[in-house]
């Protein structure tokens, strides 16, 4: 959040309770959309250089493979569908990017928020620091302080939803391996009968292993090394990973499907786990938190600069609460399969797995439904479409589709143009008309896409230009979401749409 605000020229202070980057791998799977957001924050190059890309996975019932899935991908994509990297590396690389914006973002380590008070002009935050109590006066507070949010408690707010009973032990180990990077899952493996077990490769020869414990097991006992290590060893031996290994980190987790009803309370916003808690299955935690930051940063910056009315901030809660409920719905389905909450779900899962051995049609039911960007179909910012389009991939409220273009300086991905300003994609069949100067004068960036630049046809196809339509405008928000699209090159409807929202880029 701080890095994206700095990109917008807005100063912020990060209050961090830890004395440094987190320990343990924690969130490890970074989606393609999240890699784009990290690029806007200035950290994607380092993340990609360190991380391990992957595009699919395998699931086993006992020792029989029952699913092999591949996520949509193609050679022209800028980023892999998923990238495995420990969370502490992501924190480090984003912090490095922050240090490249002196005066715009500071981090106060080993500091903790004690109280938050609001008034009409801003907020007053009492912070306990290594040198004593300090008072911070600010325009807004963005609470990114996790599932046990102090700020949420200060405001007397409670998360709503379901907490599941099934618990998973999470273990990081170091072991050399030559296996491909993919998501691996076992249901009732011979190594750990009755359990569900997940494995992911990470950088530095690290395996991330998650396994379910029985309902009658004491969680405090379950994370003791003498109980964890034999179960890990049993599984490694079963799959033929015989290299020496050692544990790095052990924790425990249970799935929660919880959200606040509103993410904006006066001068305080909630984001990430402070706003919503989703199951690890489908890797929506870190990825949805990054989307929260991308959604809020440009809106907050526009209001602070005086480029938009305060009402724009309401759309953050509307869009991201909707996204959280979608993520929770997908996460709940995955959780009910991965850790059945009762006998009925367990019976259905057993039947599905048995059938999947002999019937390929059943195997899609085992798909873990990996994280994907959520469409904001009912966003108050969407501009109603008056024209017909050949594809809804780029309808208002959809994440702007990626496309590979050919520019004068070489290949160029559309997502490289997003992340800071409003951008108008101008599809044309020749020279740009002079009328589009009104867009530039109005603060909207213009990206010219003539046919020769779209030699692969990806942009025209994915943004829905019908046959015979050679001129079109597509307005993309700073967070890479489509706000509106129009046939022709008349800039007036686009500028009027921004004016109706009180936005002057």
**Helix-then-strand count for the chain, H and E:** 13, 25
Rounded to whole angstroms, what are the CA distances from 341 to 173, 335, 338, 386?
A: 29, 8, 9, 47
Rounded to whole angstroms, what are the CA distances from 369 to 16, 211, 366, 372?
A: 33, 19, 9, 9
- What's the confidence (pLDDT) of residue 24? 86
Tokens representing 429? 């069949």
Judge whether 265 and 352 are in contact, CB under 8 Å.
no
User: What sections of 410-483 are H helices per DSSP?
Assistant: 437-441, 458-462
For the chain, what is the mean pLDDT? 94
- The residues that bridge with 484 in the sheet, in sequence order, are 475
- What's the confidence (pLDDT) of residue 474? 97
Per residue in 440-491, pLDDT (tens digit) is: 888 899 999 999 999 999 999 999 999 999 999 999 999 999 999 999 999 9
- pLDDT-derived band at 249 (thresholds 50, 70, 90) equals very high
C-beta pairs of 188-191 under 8 Å, 24+ apart in sequence: 188/61, 188/62, 188/353, 189/60, 189/62, 189/63, 189/235, 189/238, 190/62, 190/63, 190/238, 191/231, 191/234, 191/235, 191/237, 191/238, 191/239
Per residue in 310-337, pLDDT (tens digit) is: 999 999 999 999 999 999 998 888 888 8
Q: Rounded mean pLDDT of 367-377?
A: 85
Q: Rounded mean pLDDT of 174-187?
A: 96
- pLDDT-derived band at 274 (thresholds 50, 70, 90) equals very high
Tell me which residue of 488, 474, 411 sits closest to 444, measured CA to CA.
Answer: 474
Does residue 55 surpass a pLDDT of 90?
A: yes
- The residues that bridge with 83 in the sheet, in sequence order, are 30, 53
- What's the confidence (pLDDT) of residue 77? 93
Q: Rounded mean pLDDT of 134-163?
A: 96
> Which superfamily does 404-500 belong to?
Glutaredoxin (3.40.30.10)
- What's the confidence (pLDDT) of residue 113? 96
- What's the confidence (pLDDT) of residue 273? 96
Per residue in 374-433, pLDDT (tens digit) is: 999 999 999 999 999 999 999 999 999 999 999 777 899 999 999 999 999 999 987 777
Does residue 371 surpass a pLDDT of 80?
A: no
Q: Rounded mean pLDDT of 233-238?
A: 97
In whole angstroms, what is the distance from residue 127 CA to residue 441 CA? 43
The set of residues, in sequence order, having a beta carbon less than 8 Å from that of 139 and lying 6+ positions away, is: 121, 122, 123, 267, 304
Options 3.30.2420.10, 3.40.50.2020, 3.50.50.60, 3.40.1030.10; CATH of 2-366? 3.50.50.60
Does residue 369 surpass a pLDDT of 80?
A: no
Does residue 435 surpass a pLDDT of 80?
A: no
In whole angstroms, what is the distance from residue 378 CA to residue 396 CA? 9
Tell me which residue of 136, 77, 100 sits closest to 401, measured CA to CA.
Answer: 77
- Give the lowest-confidence range in 181-185, 340-344, 368-372: 368-372
Tell me which residue of 14, 268, 261, 1 sits closest to 116, measured CA to CA.
Answer: 268
Judge whether 68 and 58 are in contact, CB under 8 Å.
yes
Per residue in 193-212, pLDDT (tens digit) is: 999 999 999 999 999 999 99
- pLDDT-derived band at 338 (thresholds 50, 70, 90) equals confident
**Which helix (H) or strand (E) is 405 found in, with range?**
strand 404-407
Judge whether 436 and 472 are in contact, CB under 8 Å.
no
Spans of all domains in the chain: 2-366, 404-500
Burial class (CB in 10 A: 0-12, 13-18, 19+), 74: exposed
In whole angstroms, what is the distance from residue 44 CA to residue 90 CA? 9
- What's the confidence (pLDDT) of residue 339? 84
Judge whether 473 and 424 are in contact, CB under 8 Å.
yes
First to last CA, the chain: 20
């Amino acid at each position: 959040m701080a890095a994206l605000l700095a990109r917008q020229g807005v100063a912020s202070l990060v209050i961090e309770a830890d004395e440094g980057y987190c320990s343990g791998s924690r969130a490890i799977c970074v989606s393609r959309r999240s890699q784009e957001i990290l690029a806007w924050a200035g950290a994607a190059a380092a993340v990609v250089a360190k991380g391990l890309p992957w595009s699919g996975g395998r699931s086993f019932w006992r020792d029989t493979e029952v699913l092999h899935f591949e996520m949509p991908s193609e050679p022209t994509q800028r980023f892999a569908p998923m990238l495995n990297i420990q969370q502490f590396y992501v924190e480090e690389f984003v912090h490095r990017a922050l240090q490249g914006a002196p005066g715009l973002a500071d981090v106060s380590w080993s500091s903790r928020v004690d109280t938050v008070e609001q008034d009409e002009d801003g907020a007053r935050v009492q912070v306990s620091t290594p040198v004593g109590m300090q008072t911070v006066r600010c325009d807004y507070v963005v609470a990114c302080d996790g599932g046990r949010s102090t700020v949420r408690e200060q405001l007397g707010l409670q998360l709503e939803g379901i907490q599941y009973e099934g618990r998973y032990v999470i273990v990081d180990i170091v072991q050399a391996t030559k296996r491909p990077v993919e998501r691996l899952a076992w249901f009732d493996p011979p190594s750990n009968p009755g359990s569900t077990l997940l494995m992911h490769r990470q950088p530095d020869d690290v395996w991330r292993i998650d396994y379910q414990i029985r309902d009658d097991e004491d969680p405090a006992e379950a994370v003791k090394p003498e109980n964890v290590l034999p179960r890990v060893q049993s599984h490694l031996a079963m799959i033929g990973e015989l290299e020496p290994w050692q544990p790095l980190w052990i924790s425990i987790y249970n799935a929660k499907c919880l959200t606040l009803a509103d993410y904006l309370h006066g001068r305080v916003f909630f984001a990430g786990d402070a706003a919503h808690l989703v199951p690890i299955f489908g890797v929506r935690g870190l990825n949805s938190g990054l989307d929260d930051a991308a959604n809020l940063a440009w809106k907050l910056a526009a209001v602070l600069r005086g480029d938009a009315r305060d009402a724009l901030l309401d759309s953050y809660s509307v869009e991201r609460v909707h996204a959280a409920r979608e993520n929770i719905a997908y996460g709940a389905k995955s959780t009910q399969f991965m850790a059945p909450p009762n006998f009925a779900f367990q019976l259905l899962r057993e039947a599905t797995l048995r059938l999947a051995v002999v019937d390929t049609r059943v195997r899609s039911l085992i798909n873990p439904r990996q994280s994907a960007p959520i469409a904001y179909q009912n966003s108050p910012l969407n501009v109603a479409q008056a024209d017909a389009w050949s594809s809804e991939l780029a309808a208002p409220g959809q994440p702007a589709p990626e496309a590979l273009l050919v520019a004068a300086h070489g290949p160029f991905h559309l997502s490289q143009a997003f992340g800071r300003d409003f951008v108008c994609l101008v599809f044309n069949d020749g020279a740009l008309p002079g009328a589009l100067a009104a867009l530039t004068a109005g603060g909207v960036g213009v990206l010219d896409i003539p046919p020769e630049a779209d030699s692969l046809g990806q942009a025209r196809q994915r943004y829905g230009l019908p046959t015979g339509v050679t001129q079109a405008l597509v307005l993309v928000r700073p967070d890479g979401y489509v706000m509106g699209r129009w046939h022709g090159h008349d800039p007036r409807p686009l500028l009027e749409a921004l004016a109706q929202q009180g936005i002057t880029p």
